[in-house]
Chains A and B, each alone.
Chain A
Amino acid sequence: MKTKRLFALLVAVAMLAVAMVPAFAEEHAPVTLRFMWWGGDARAAATLDVIEAYEAAHPWVTIEPEYGSDEGYQEKLTTQLVSGTAADIIQMGTGWMPGYVASNPDYFVDFFEYPELIDTTTFAEAFLANNGQFDGHQYGLPTGISGHAFLYNTGLAETIGLNFADQYTWDDLLEMGKKVREYDDSMYLLDMGASQLNTMIVRPYLQQLTGNTVLVNDTKARGFEEADLVATLSYIKSLYDNGVIAPIEDVIPYGSDLTTDPNWIGQKYVGMFCYSSTIEPAAAACPDASFAAGKLPVAADAKDEGWYCNCPQYMIVSKASQNVEEAVSFLNFFYNDAEAAKMLTNVRSVPPTSVGQNVCAELGLLEGVAKDSVDIIQTYAGTNDLGLTTEEEVTAILEDAAVQVAYGQGTPEQIAQDTIELLDTFLASK
């Protein structure tokens, strides 16, 4: 009798279990998401921790990380977007996004269509409107508050008598560079590669000179005349002629990652232009020195300040994803969960959400050069030049022009003529 009862009980439990399985499966079918990003080790470790925490809380979700360096990232991303094989969640370069949206906005999910899944009210409304929003569609969510930055060695600056704390002009920068050479002819004021020459001198200098972005998105025309470009390239030439910038042949082998240059580590350079999102690693690469974030150069008669605050990257969800809702939910956790914010801290610059900022403030992370650089960039109101000016081909043309000047291959006049010809050919294709 006892055995019969036990058997009946077991059967009942088994039937209940069998009955529950489909219900469970129906509610939470297994989901696999792919998450693609680039960045250094610290960013990768923090992002992996967030993925792990999300998976633990949502056992039916598996997130496959795809991460590495930014080398070839965009090339891979483009082919994946076109072929419909892109990851579900993608870290996106801000400069690339306008081109993708112009080609086909259907690549991306509009986060505003999922208010029940993601809370965008934790972002400042105006910041969100200027970062990742296209014609009212929020295709990208900014990963941080950042912008151009200037990092300088405070010990050297004090010894040599350089002041980057107060606003200074491009001419002041030139004079400060000369002072560095007078102090020690093996030292240079600036460490700059091809990428920095374009983003930190050519573009802001031209913008300040003309009041326009290099290429104007609305008119699809140049925002400058030949004389403006000649003036810009001549300024770069004077920086090299006076030893303000380290010789290009010393720097160019290190590509865009100047923090690996032994001369930077060995304190042979006083400062470098970088971004709020990369300023901490740049300072960390030289542990024996103390650093501060400085102001950025603005011409006395600037028509536009040339510098502006934006974000280092966007997070987007591919519209081709089979699990859009799950991907959006994950990003809600990524941006708005306090535990996730504790893991991510400022690995993508100062967090853009109130949740992230509160957590970083509690942890004492809203201090230091990254935060200072964000505070500084927010004081400038230059025009955002994302779009045609930041397209890959234009970037290459402008970098080539600056590098030719740096190597002394031709006069600024000749190089300006060639550059304008190339830019006009580019514009004609648009």
Chain B
Amino acid sequence: MKSLTRRRYIGLLFIAPWIIGFLVLQLYPFITSLIYSFAEYNIMSSPKFIGIQNYVQLLTKDREFWNSLRVTVVYTLFTVPGKLVVALLVAVLMNKNMRGVNAIRTIYYLPSLFGGSIAVSILWKLMFQNTGIINQIIGVVGIKPVKWLGNPQTAMPVIIMQNLWQFGSAFVMFLAALKNVPSELYEAAEIDGAGRVTQFFRITLPQISSIIFFNIIMQTITALQSFTGPMVITNGGPLKATYVLGLKLYTEAFSYYKMGYACAISWVIFILIMAVTGVLFRFSSMVVYYEDKGDF
């Protein structure tokens, strides 16, 4: 009995760093942000309770919020499917036994190692400047320079492209999933006369559908929280064309010191993410194949 208690304490000691980290760095800010979202709080003085005023202001009076929501949704709608299609295509191509395939796989994964880093965003900004390398390249084939970052219509595609370029993590998961598809299925399909395209849509896609679903969820959550690219490359401009919700939240909190208002925005983003995730899960059983029928 004594030994069991001791073992328990040792076990708790091992997981203590995670528990402390979770309590201090996640749970505490999570609860505090909910409380502050009902307050007027400028960081420099004590918070003042104002009920649901922040939410009313945000949802009924703040036109910028609806623009940011629209921008974020557009960004998500383009980056998530785009990234998954590119990652899946590359994974299918890399799922072959050819010479040097491991090196090529590593090269494809490299951009994702940089994550959403500031350095990559600065580089992207320089590439798409009026006199940047992209305009120089298209100039070689006679195309006039494009004002990528100065034009509200082209600024968002630049930000989206930066995200698409970093498809490595989705690619690695697709590759692992492709490796797990039983080869007998393809052999049986071949005997039945199914072509490559039919095999892809009838065998490959259903077999890796759970991984596709996982990637959709993760990429959607990440896209709805996007910040670094829009902040560094365009600072939300021009004309707020890339002013995503994450950037609005940051500006309200740290430029205007409306911490309570920013907390309300963060809760709206949270609810949005929960709603989107809930909808995706609701419809997942219709398109995702689980060998065990999805029982957990």
Which of B44, B237, B239 has a CB less than 8 Å from the CB of A104? B44
Chain B: CB-nearest residue to A76: B254
Interface residues of A in 212-253 (CB under 8 A from B): 247-253
**Are A407 and B238 in touch, CB under 8 angstroms?**
yes
Bound CA–CA A409/B152 (angstroms): 11
Chain A: CB-nearest residue to B235: A255
**Are A392 and B256 in touch, CB under 8 angstroms?**
yes
Bound CA–CA A78/B238 (angstroms): 26
B277 beta carbon closer than 8 Å to chain A: no
A322 beta carbon closer than 8 Å to chain B: no
Chain A: CB-nearest residue to B234: A253
Residue of B237, B240, B251 with most chain A CB atoms under a 10 A cut-off: B237
Which of A104, A248, A254, A392 has a CB less than 8 Å from the CB of B238? A248
**Are A262 and B131 in touch, CB under 8 angstroms?**
yes
A3 beta carbon closer than 8 Å to chain B: no
How many A residues touch the partner, as a band?
Answer: 20 to 34
Contacts of B254 in A (CB 8 A): 75, 78-79
Interface size on B, residues (CB 8 A): 27
Contacts of B125 in A (CB 8 A): 253
Q: Is the interface of B mostly helix, strand, loop or mixed?
A: loop
Bound CA–CA A81/B125 (angstroms): 32
Interface residues of B in 150-192 (CB under 8 A from A): 150-152
Chain B: CB-nearest residue to A426: B256
B78 beta carbon closer than 8 Å to chain A: no
**Are B256 and A393 in touch, CB under 8 angstroms?**
yes
Contacts of A403 in B (CB 8 A): 237-239
**Are B255 and A393 in touch, CB under 8 angstroms?**
yes
B199 beta carbon closer than 8 Å to chain A: no
**Are A82 and B44 in touch, CB under 8 angstroms?**
yes
Contacts of A74 in B (CB 8 A): 255
B112 beta carbon closer than 8 Å to chain A: no
Chain A: CB-nearest residue to B147: A249
B249 beta carbon closer than 8 Å to chain A: no
Interface residues of B in 101-158 (CB under 8 A from A): 125, 128-131, 147-152
Interface residues of A in 35-50 (CB under 8 A from B): none
Q: Which A residues contact B (CB, under 8 angstroms)?
A: 74-75, 78-79, 81-82, 100, 103-104, 194, 247-255, 262, 392-393, 396, 400, 403-404, 407, 409, 425, 429
Q: Which B residues contact A (CB, under 8 angstroms)?
A: 40, 42-45, 61, 125, 128-131, 147-152, 235, 237-240, 251, 254-257
A to B CB contacts below 8 Å, 26 in the list: A74-B255, A75-B255, A78-B43, A78-B44, A78-B254, A78-B257, A81-B44, A103-B42, A103-B44, A103-B45, A104-B44, A104-B45, A247-B150, A248-B238, A253-B125, A253-B147, A253-B148, A253-B149, A253-B150, A254-B129, A262-B130, A392-B255, A393-B256, A400-B240, A403-B238, A409-B239
